[in-house]
A and B are shown apart, each in its own frame.
Chain A
Amino acid sequence: MNDILKGRYIPGDSFLHRRNGTAKLLAFFMILAAVLTTDSVPGYLLIAAVSAAAAAMSEMRPTKTLGQVRHLRLFFLMLFLMNAFFYEDGQAGGLVLWSWGIVHLSVPGMIQGTHVVLRILFLMVFCNVLIRTTPPVQITTAIETLIAPLRLIRVPTAEVAMILSVALQFIPVFAQEADLIKKAQTARGAKFESERLRDRAASVVPLLVPIFLSAFRRADDLATAMEARGYGHRQTNGRGRSQRAAVQLPDVCLFLFSCLFFLVQAAR
């Protein structure tokens, strides 16, 4: 269960905990852009330095910033192999080490695969830092602030933000439930741990049905509970205003630094 609960908000009082949610989200987007434009060794070193700084500012151990990456090692391996074997089509002139039909193991492919894996890895690190230092309601408020202009074209921005936040905070509940159902069905002979892909795929279906059913029941319950507590009373105003912390100088600095980071990476 502790595994499931990793990668969510951890209350604290670090520098990043105290930052304004909107500033953090904007900085996250800038860093995201910076990471996606990186393609050199010095670039990755800089990103590594920035992620170490982020870990320090959030008072997390650097290894903790990786969150659940461990569970995704197969996914990363697949990403790398896909690129390594399919990046070159045999005509482009890159150094091909081995060919078989349409499959070409190439050096440029391996380099590309490394890029893709590293970028996603760093994105996950920053995403983790954001989620661990920012309560969901603040993320919601930040999203609400950022999409506020859409109100002009009649998008119900407060509702969209509310949906996002509720969805976010139900993820661990579902994960816990999936785990429980999985155990129950393993006890009844389902083969989640089987080496054979077919067995594993077949065992997922009976897992999905109860999870979906329970999701609908939960959604219904939650809607009732929210309505009973007056949700919908101030539809026109949106909610959560009191959560909106004032923007302070460090918030602005955080954002400016992330912009600078992006410019440095992009200009390389």
Chain B
Amino acid sequence: MDKMVGGESMEAVKGSGISFRYEWDGSAPFVLDGLSIAIEKGQFVAILGPNGCGKSTLAKHLNALLPLQSGSLTVAGLDVREEKQVWELRRLCGMVFQNPENQFVSSVVEEDVAFGLENYDTPPNEIPGRVSRALEQVGMTGFEKRSPHLLSGGQKQRIALAGVLAMEPELIVFDEATAMLDPVGREEILECMKILAQRGKTVIMITHYVEEAVEADRVILMNRGTILADGKPQEVLTSRELLEQCGLSVPMPVQLYDDLAKLGIRLGHCPLTKEELVEELCQLN
């Protein structure tokens, strides 16, 4: 896992031996337990794990919302412990959270998208251009004057994403950003993630839905503050044993593949998505 090619500049995230607990009185459990992680620039990574395994805690380390208690962590080339760089770090590492409603600071879309830019003293004449470019990237052009509260869940979350993109970050962390959305909204956000990944941004998708992790290029399976497995979706998400160990179940197509195998029906190879499953089933006869 420790790829040293190209040295530091190839890595969007590089951390090792990260331990963390919320209270310092010896009895509190370790929420992160000596975790090490490396993510290359431009990768589309899913961090998958059950509720309470420490995913959000890890995410909040990436842009120094939580202090590093032990170990080391570099994000976008910046050491998270360096206090002088905290603001630059937060600009380079954007974050979209679970509940879109609790991220808005304004009841007008364009003002909300500009919030980060204003915090960073962006020259006022640059703001409108960057806001409209950010809205365009998430497909929300034309919503500038609308109130975010009156939009659909997926649209709300895309506005929140636009607020992050306006700051031109290098990596974007989606902390369960789809968890409160309906299937349509979920699809919209997944689409945004894929487009961002195609454009060379580093995308970190945090989720407890196995079906979502399928979309990423790489899956990091987390349980109880450590990394349990790390690899391609085909490797990690087809392992019933690994997933069940952290209270997750394999995606439906894998389940079906296994069930069919028990009946003596062998598919060509194990499908991960519904589309792959349909393809495999069609090739049966």
Chain A proximity of B266: nearest CB distance (Å): 48
Given known A-B contacts A230-B87, A241-B124, A242-B124, A11 and B146 have beta carbons under 8 A apart = yes
Q: Does B191 contact A (CB under 8 A)?
A: no
- Interface stretch of the complex, out of A85-93, A194-202, A218-226: A218-226
CA distance A166 to B108 in the complex (A): 12
Asked if A230 contacts B105 (CB within 8 A), the reply is: no
Q: Mark B154-187, 1 if CB is under 8 A from A, else 0.
A: 0000001001100100000000000000000000
Q: Does A136 contact B (CB under 8 A)?
A: yes
- Interface stretch of the complex, out of A64-72, A122-130, A232-240: A232-240
Q: Does A172 contact B (CB under 8 A)?
A: yes
Asked if A228 contacts B111 (CB within 8 A), the reply is: no
The number of residues on chain B lying at the interface, defined by a beta carbon within 8 Å of a beta carbon of chain A, is 38
Given known A-B contacts A233-B119, A242-B127, A221 and B97 have beta carbons under 8 A apart = yes
Q: Does B114 contact A (CB under 8 A)?
A: yes
Chain B proximity of A176: nearest CB distance (Å): 8
Asked if A230 contacts B97 (CB within 8 A), the reply is: no
Nearest residue (CB) in A for B148 is A169
Chain B residues in 8 Å Cβ range of A62: none
Q: Does A165 contact B (CB under 8 A)?
A: yes
Chain A residues in 8 Å Cβ range of B118: 239-242
Q: Does A8 contact B (CB under 8 A)?
A: yes
Asked if A169 contacts B106 (CB within 8 A), the reply is: yes
In-complex Cβ contact of A230 among B104, B127, B167 (8 A): B167
In-complex Cβ contact of A229 among B146, B150, B163 (8 A): B163
Chain A residues in 8 Å Cβ range of B98: 221
CA distance A136 to B146 in the complex (A): 13
Chain A proximity of B158: nearest CB distance (Å): 15
Asked if B108 contacts A11 (CB within 8 A), the reply is: yes
Nearest residue (CB) in A for B87 is A233
Given known A-B contacts A221-B99, A224-B97, A243 and B111 have beta carbons under 8 A apart = yes
By secondary structure, the A interface counts as helix
- A225, A228, A241 — which one has the most chain B CB atoms within 10 A of its CB? A228
Chain A residues in 8 Å Cβ range of B107: 8-9, 135-136, 169
CA distance A74 to B103 in the complex (A): 36
CA distance A230 to B111 in the complex (A): 15
CA distance A226 to B150 in the complex (A): 21
Nearest residue (CB) in B for A242 is B124
Q: Does B101 contact A (CB under 8 A)?
A: yes
In-complex Cβ contact of B106 among A165, A227, A232 (8 A): A165
Chain B residues in 8 Å Cβ range of A172: 149
CA distance A237 to B60 in the complex (A): 26
CA distance A217 to B108 in the complex (A): 23
Chain B residues in 8 Å Cβ range of A173: 101, 149
Nearest residue (CB) in B for A235 is B119
CA distance A36 to B167 in the complex (A): 47
Chain A residues in 8 Å Cβ range of B218: none
In-complex Cβ contact of B95 among A169, A218, A228 (8 A): A228
Q: Does B25 contact A (CB under 8 A)?
A: no
Chain B residues in 8 Å Cβ range of A234: 119-121
Q: Which residues of A contact B (CB under 8 A)?
A: 5, 8-9, 11, 135-137, 165-166, 169, 172-173, 217-218, 221-222, 224-234, 237, 239-243
20 A-B pairs whose Cβ atoms sit less than 8 Å apart in the complex: A5-B150, A9-B147, A137-B108, A166-B105, A169-B104, A169-B107, A169-B149, A218-B99, A221-B99, A222-B105, A225-B95, A226-B105, A227-B65, A229-B90, A229-B167, A230-B90, A232-B119, A233-B119, A239-B119, A241-B124
